[in-house]
Chain A
């Protein structure tokens, strides 16, 4: 009888708990919140209205700016510990109302890390596939088509040349050769992920760096960059200095 009752209790407990939502065991994970600031010249990137000037003195406006931030990793170089986000494909964009774009990654292994790694683009394994993983969805308007993969970084606007009629400014950077890894060591403070807590990383994206260092882009020659050879140099530009960590907080 006792056995019977205890069986009943266990059974009913099982049934009861099945009524509840799946309990996500907190376990040994926390979350990581990336607050991404889209900037131009150190101040918030504005869409359409504001005139910018590049290194060559070319005046331009930006109507749209977005890129894929993918394959995010946290690494501790001193002890070799690392965290890899699974199915890590995030489309970051300059939203109409704010230059800030927030990205929260849940279930990050706890620990102390001293380097943030991610890529700009979509790796070869997913670039031509139909898997809608993460933000890889053809309706995001970043896919060229299924043969050509995704645009990794897109900037569109107007080029306003002196004494000439305005032209379009179109930078669509993609294709496997332009996939770039970004390594950002934490400087003053390490990235510490604590159990059930959110750690915030402020990441700055300086759009003007797309057009300079090491290769200065002259819009008079290159106001449209798609499949040209120069796209490789543009990818080198933004891989070098466009991203920086500006703060870590808990």
Chain B
């Protein structure tokens, strides 16, 4: 009798216990939760969102990595996402403009892919609202990978490896463009760069040299000459420790004084919003790994960090939509019609450059989790 009671107790207990779980007996294993959050440094903050309809899974990330390096995504099987987003360049490339499969050059410089978790708008002109939306655009672009989504899906569906990989990640062997985008987005969300010397400094594990300290201070300071405060004015747009743009709507898009009103070649954000006040505004990208991502600007017009610093210091062009924080930045008191100059010293520019080099993350560009899985 006592034994019976014990059994009764146990069976009741197990009934109650298992009723908590979802009923799903004897089907293929479910995708396993990928714990991205535990990899993120606390100082990056929590202003990010992983879409509810695309939760991170181990299998999804694995598939996404394969697709990122998969040349079948292009019309003639010669290019993958990774062709223009190479790990050694922090997932950008070293060309001013990249060539698509038909040998045609694009009009904008390939962007680095790092810490995109803290972004809501993608591309230089912000035309994609999510990584999922972004991922499918270059595939279809006639001057990039030049292939219809139907063709991509058909190619992957007929391959030996992909149907089972999609089944593992999304519980269906039927491949869809939506799931291709989701997998690539999942992989891209894992591309976290947080092991630079600057990160070590933030964690208290690295002491800045005096030059690096000066560079950091200048980077994050808007100059206020009447208060004796010298600044390089970088952090106004490349904000906080992520050194990336404001992530609220289009607040992270700026006209940074590259051209005058009548010489603007590329309307940038204005193409997307169709508002005149967005003329020639472009996304302020993260400066993480900036020393590895030359050339610079949306059109890759500058080849070196020195040229970039000289631009902001000496060559800002006035225009209607020029960012107010750039227009109103100088280390000397100026008169209204004066040209816009920061008046940085050579020593200060060298210090800012030294700080920018602290943002290089060797672990990121060598991380085997991010490399070509087919090699």
Contacts and interface: CB of A to CB of B under 8 A. Distances in A.
Interface of A: 4, 8, 11-12, 15-16, 18-19, 48-49, 63-64, 93, 95-96, 130, 132, 137-141, 143-145, 156-158, 161, 164-170, 172, 223-224, 226-228
Given A64-B251, A144-B220, A168 B325 contact: yes
B318 interface: yes
Residues of B contacting A: mostly: loop
B336 A8 contact: no
Contact of A48 (B44, B275, B336): B275
B43 A130 contact: yes
A141 B20 contact: no
B19 A19 contact: yes
B202 to A, nearest CB: 9
Looking at B250, B318, B328, the one whose CB has the most chain A CB atoms below 10 A away is: B328
Contacts of B29: none
A8 B250 contact: no
A161 B327 CA distance: 14
A132 B46 contact: yes
24 contacts: A15-B13, A48-B275, A49-B275, A63-B324, A64-B251, A96-B250, A132-B42, A138-B45, A139-B45, A139-B47, A139-B239, A141-B240, A141-B246, A144-B220, A145-B221, A156-B324, A157-B324, A161-B336, A167-B328, A168-B326, A169-B324, A226-B222, A227-B224, A227-B227
Contacts of A166: 320
B5 interface: yes
Contacts of B235: 145
A93 B248 contact: yes
B39 interface: no
A166 B227 CA distance: 24
A63 B251 CA distance: 9
Interface string B223-259: 0101101000001000111100011111110000000
A170 B239 contact: no
B250 A158 contact: no
Contacts of B42: 130, 132
Contacts of A226: 222, 224, 227
B161 to A, nearest CB: 38
Contacts of A96: 249-250
Contacts of A156: 324-325
A130 B46 CA distance: 12
A63 B148 CA distance: 39
A239 B284 CA distance: 33
Interface in B38-66: 42-47
B45 A165 contact: no
A19 B20 contact: yes
Contacts of B275: 48-49
Contacts of B44: 139
Given A139-B47, A228-B226, A170 B328 contact: yes
B227 A137 contact: no
Contacts of B247: 139, 141
Nearest to B323: A168
A94 to B, nearest CB: 11
Contacts of B16: 12, 15-16
B241 A138 contact: yes
Interface string B1-24: 000010001001100110110000
Contacts of B327: 167-168
B69 interface: no
B328 to A, nearest CB: 4
A49 B327 CA distance: 19
B150 interface: no
A141 B224 contact: no
Contacts of A143: 239-240
A20 to B, nearest CB: 10
Contacts of B43: 130, 138
A145 B45 contact: no
A227 B220 CA distance: 14
B337 interface: yes
Would you list the 9 A-B pairs with minimal beta carbon distance, nearest first?
Answer: A168-B324, A168-B328, A138-B240, A141-B246, A137-B45, A168-B327, A139-B47, A145-B220, A139-B45
A12 B8 CA distance: 12
Contacts of A145: 220-221, 235, 240
Contacts of A227: 224, 227, 229
B17 A49 contact: no
B277 interface: yes
A95 B249 CA distance: 9
Given A8-B12, A170-B324, A172-B222, 10 more contacts: A19-B20, A137-B47, A138-B45, A139-B44, A145-B235, A156-B324, A158-B324, A168-B323, A223-B328, A227-B227
Given A8-B12, A156-B324, A167-B328, A137 B20 contact: no
B5 A4 contact: yes
